[in-house]
Structures are given as structure tokens and as C-alpha cells.
Amino acid sequence: MKTFVYIDHFKGEVQPASWEALGLAKSFGAAIALVFGKSVDAVAKAAVEYGADEVLVADDSSLEDYRAETYASTLAALASSLNPNLILFPTTARTRELAAMSAVDLNTGVLTDLIALEANGDSFVATRPIYEGKLMEKIVCAGKPVMATIRGRAFPKPERVSGKSGTVTKVTAAGEAKSTVEGYSASESAVNLGDAGIIVSGGRGVSNNPALTPPAGMDEKQAEVWRAQQGFALVTELAKLLGGAVGASRAAVDGGYIPYAHQVGQTGKVVAPDLYIACGISGAIQHLVGMRNAKVIVAINKDADAPIFKQARYGVVGDLFQIVPALTEALKKKLGK
Amino acid sequence: MKIIACIKQVPDSEAKVKAEDGKVSWGDAPLVINPFDEYAVEGALQQKEAHNGTVTALCVGPESAKEALKHALAMGADEAVLVSDAALNDLDTVGAAKVLAAAIQKIGGADMVFFGRQTLDNGAGLTPPQTARLLGYPMLGLAGSIKVEGSAVTVERVLEEGRQIMKATLPAVLSVVQSIGEPRYPSFMGIRKASKANIPVWSLADLGISAPAAVVTRSELITPPTNTREVEMIAGETPAEIAEKLADKIIAEKVL
């Protein structure tokens, strides 16, 4: 069994689920890591240290910035000449495109966002959530190679062995770019909820602190957003203490309290962290479908009838503006931070 | 400016979806336009308005999917086309892309082809890039803002790490995300127009293709167990006391 593992990175920063994919590949047999980009020796070295049997590096100025077309052509050319049984990817914005396009070239299919993958003779059976996690399906791919993107945190991450050496082979880039990258704005929206082990989220309730007096001269809407931002500061402080990410409900995003990249739920991200703390979120079904697979859910809301409590492991009926900072303080003390 | 917005019809988010005899059942819950695709229609209409264009809404689905197309018409799309054929029951994503690409070619191509980021049902998000690959158009995925100048299109892609600014020459396939702007509500006039619209239905024979064989197929459908554990409410005299108890509970879960 020969598996390609595409190591997804942004300017050398690797998406952690790439290593989880590498670990999964090893469980099936030989794992060959693919690293595309420009000056990516450090990524290739990390792939060896995480257990790749071989690393194929396409180091080319045409691959300096991720572009779907050139990356897909490079991947398809490698797969055509080396015939892997399986190609694994972490599930990210880039890999969905990359896998989709190279599957067209290779005349095969893609199994996306998997939470389980089992070898079945020469083939594979994959498990993935559909209908916003309301159902699970098992699917198979009749094409060769089987292409699969795995969900972050669904598979164990292999140990990294520092200083390990291995075979790194240079390969060539292929394909013609159809776009140019003009730049980046590493905005406040840089947030990766999919890989977060802990998420603290805020909803409409974060804007409702009557104790706050907005600065003079604000209209009603500006005052609401200003209040919400003070509320999100409390949410962020707790998230920071726990090393987690900040999430939000659609109401909070639509209200302009926080950029949409933070949104959990329908039209946002589906997440499954170990701990999810919902602050001032009532729990519309559109939000619940995005977070109900979290291991432990804590809900803090002033409305005892809020649907979020039906989904939660622990609930507090109370004022989030008092409870959240008190919880931050209590955890800080108990965790010795 | 010729614009096509590709949409799909899905069960409403509130639907109680379950597995029944190996098939997906949503009871009598309404079918709606895929919520992500409302953003695609919105993005298409913004470009139509900015560049004096026309928007054709395109959907592959059963006869009932005309309702989703009518929603797009009511929002302001000029025309709608449904591709429907009994042979299309088991489409996978690349199969859907092949049918859409053939329909787009039958329409005569487009300057911009819009998609939502993904669908609510399958959720794979593969069809937009696969359609782009088949058409040979550049793929500008996850666009949060779009600017067209002449034949050049510049988008801000919303990625995990921030925003990537990307430029390509039209025609192009774009998938849009929420920061494109809230989808407009159908106007009264729009609803009237949509209710009277005669939506053409194209079969595979009309497109001159045969049904694409599914490469990815489902072998089993499972309804996951529901959460049956009762919530434990934490109470106390003061916020500090509640926080103290809650912190202990969280630490005892060993998730930190």
C-alpha cells in the first residue's frame, strides 16, 4: 500500500491535520509526503521527523503562492507517474480545491472531511458527517487513486522525532497558472476554528451589558457594537487563558460584533473541540449543528429556557458579564497561570 | 457581462433529517435554496448591477427544484434553467460538475460563474473547483469581495490564515462566502415575476451528454446517537462561587 500525504502549509506554517494524515497513512503502509512551494526545506524536514518514508518536494517559483491550478497539475502529474493507492489531505480551504481539481484530472473521486477511514482489501471505506452532522455516511471511491481529506483532530497526531533523517527527492512543478496573487492581508479574521481544541464563543448576549456607558456621540447601532466588543473582550480573555480560539454565533457576526471567520454553525464552521464554552448564545438550531459534537459543552446564558442548555453538559443561568470574568479568574488560579 | 449563478435545493436547516431504509428522510420539512447559494445569487446580482449584466440561475435537481430557482428570480435573477433527468439520481460531486459545465456551455458560456461555498446537505465544496477545472476557467474560491475592471477580476479570498488577494482574467468561476453581503430579500415585484416565470427544463439529451457514472457512492447511512445526557446546572450565591464550582467541573473533565 502506497499513500501520498499532501502537507498543507501557508508560507511554511503547516496545518496540523497534515501530520494527522501522515500518521493515518503510516497505518496503511508506506507514506510519501508531498511538499509544494518555494524554499520549503523546513517543511520537508518536519515531514521526515513526523514519520514520512519519503518526501517529494516541488520547490519552484511557480508554486511560491498557492494557486489551485498549478498545485493540482503538479499533484496529478506525480500521481500519474507514481501510482499511489491513496492520497490524503488535511481538510482546509486550499485542499478542498486542490483535491477536487486533481481528481478531475485523474478521473477519480474525493472523500471529504472524514472522521474515519478503513482499508478494505484494495479499497477504503470512509465515514463522514453530512447534513450538518445530523447524519453520518459511509462512502467508497471506485476510482484510483482514492483521494481523501481528513477532518482536523479526528485522527491521532504522530510523534515528532527531532533530527531524524530521511529521503527527500526533488520533483518538478507542472501546469499553467490562471491567476496571480496580489498580496495578503493578515487581518483580524485569521482564525482556525477547525483545529482548535478549545473554543469560547459569544452570541447576541455579549452586547447586552447595561452597566456599560458607551462614549458620547455614538448612535444606537454604534453603541451596540461598542458594547459587544467589550463583551467579546471578556470572551477573548477566557479563550486566551485556555489557549483556545474565539467563536461566535451568526447573530453576533450579523450584528457586526466580530468578523464572520469566527462564525460557528450553518454558513460558518462546523467544529468539534474538546471544550466549547457558549456565552450569551441562545442556541438556534443553525448554531447547534455547528458545535454539538464538542466533547464538553458549557453554556452561560441569562435565559433559563434557552435551547443551548439542552445541548450542554454544564449550564449556568446568569449574567455572562459577571460569570465569564469570574470563571477566567477561577481557572487562572486553579491552573496556576 | 454574462453571469451564471449555480444553486442547489436542500432541506431546510430546521428539518429533522434522519436515515430511513438507507435513504435520507426529512419528513415534510420544506426544501429551500441552499443557504450558501443565496450568497452566490447576491454576489451575482451585485456584479450585474455594477456592470449592466444579466444573471441566469442554474440548478440541477428534480422538478421541485424550480422553487429554488424561483427564489433566485425573485431576488433579481433575469432567467433560470433547471437541468432535470431521471438518470441523474446518483450524481457525485464531479458528476454534478460535468452536468453543470455542459449546461454552462449550452447557455453559451459566461463571464462569471458563481457558486456558494458548499451545500448544506453534502457539504463537500468540491463542485465549484471541479466545474472550473472542466471549463478551463480560473477558480477564485471563497471570495469575500469581488472587483471587476475590464476583463480583470480581483477577489479577496477568505482563508484560515487571513485574506489572499487574487487576480485573474474573465471568464472565471467564483465561490463566495458570507462577507460578500447579506442576500437581499425578494421584492414584491420580484416574487410576482418569479411566480409567472416559465422555467425551461433541460434533459441530458438536451445537453448532449450521458449520465456521468458515480465514482463516489454511499454504502451506509447512519443516524448518530443523540445527546441523552442531562445538563448539570451550576448555581451559587455569587458569580465567584458559581465560577469556582464550574472551574472545578471543567478541570475534572480533563479537557484543558
Domain B2-207 in CATH 3.40.50.620? The answer is yes
Are residues A208 and A295 both part of a single domain? yes
In a domain, A13, yes or no: yes
Where is A296: in which H helix or E strand? strand A296-301
**pLDDT per residue over A108-120, tens digit each?**
999 999 999 999 8
Which residue in B159, B165, B216 is closest to A141 by CB distance?
B216
Are residues A166 and A218 both part of a single domain? no
**pLDDT per residue over A171-223, tens digit each?**
999 999 999 999 988 655 567 788 899 999 999 999 999 889 999 999 989 99
* Number of independent structural domains in chain A: 2
Cα B214 to its chain centre, rounded Å, is: 20
Contact criterion met (CB < 8 Å) for A135 and B179: no
Calculate mean pLDDT across residues A303-322.
Answer: 95
Residue A285 is predicted with a pLDDT of: 87
Q: CB of B48 within 8 A of CB of B3?
A: yes
Are residues A55 and A103 both part of a single domain? yes
Q: Residues 109 to 138 of B: which have CB under 8 A from any A CB?
A: 120-130, 132-134, 137-138
Residue position matching grid coordinates 463537500 = B124
CATH number at residue A214: 3.40.50.1220
Q: Which residues of B touch A197 (CB under 8 A)?
A: 255
In a domain, A256, yes or no: yes
Are residues A256 and A324 both part of a single domain? yes
**pLDDT per residue over B99-145, tens digit each?**
999 999 999 999 999 999 999 999 999 999 999 999 999 999 999 99
Where is A333: in which H helix or E strand? helix A320-334
Distance from CA of B174 to the nearest CA of A (A): 12
Are residues A13 and A128 both part of a single domain? yes
Could you count the other beta carbons within 10 Å of the beta carbon of residue A317?
A: 18
Q: What is the full DSSP assignment across chain B?
A: -EEEEEE-EEE-TTS--EEETTEEE-TTPPEEE-HHHHHHHHHHHHHHHHHT-EEEEEEES-GGGHHHHHHHHHHT-SEEEEE--GGGTT--HHHHHHHHHHHHHHHT--SEEEEES--SSS----HHHHHHHHHTPPEEEEEEEEEEETTEEEEEEEETTEEEEEEEESSEEEEE-GGG-PPPPPPHHHHHHHHH----EE-HHHHT-PPPPPSEEEEEEEPPPP--PPPEE---SSHHHHHHHHHHHHHHTT--
Are residues A116 and A153 both part of a single domain? yes
Reference A236, options A199, A261, A192, A190; nearest CA is: A199
**pLDDT per residue over B53-77, tens digit each?**
999 999 999 999 999 999 999 999 9
Are residues A15 and A141 both part of a single domain? yes
B37 interface with A at CB cutoff 8 Å = no
Angle at A87 between CA A86 and CA A90, to 5 degrees: 135
Best to test chain A binding among B10, B13, B37 (most A CBs inside 10 Å): B13
Are residues A166 and A224 both part of a single domain? no
Are residues A8 and A147 both part of a single domain? yes
Are residues A198 and A131 both part of a single domain? no
**pLDDT per residue over A119-168, tens digit each?**
988 899 999 999 988 899 999 999 999 999 999 889 999 999 999 999 99
Q: What is the pTM of this model?
A: 0.91
**Looking at this predicted complex, what is its ipTM?**
0.94
Are residues A139 and A204 both part of a single domain? no
Domain residue limits at A321: 193-334
In a domain, A84, yes or no: yes
Are residues A143 and A205 both part of a single domain? no
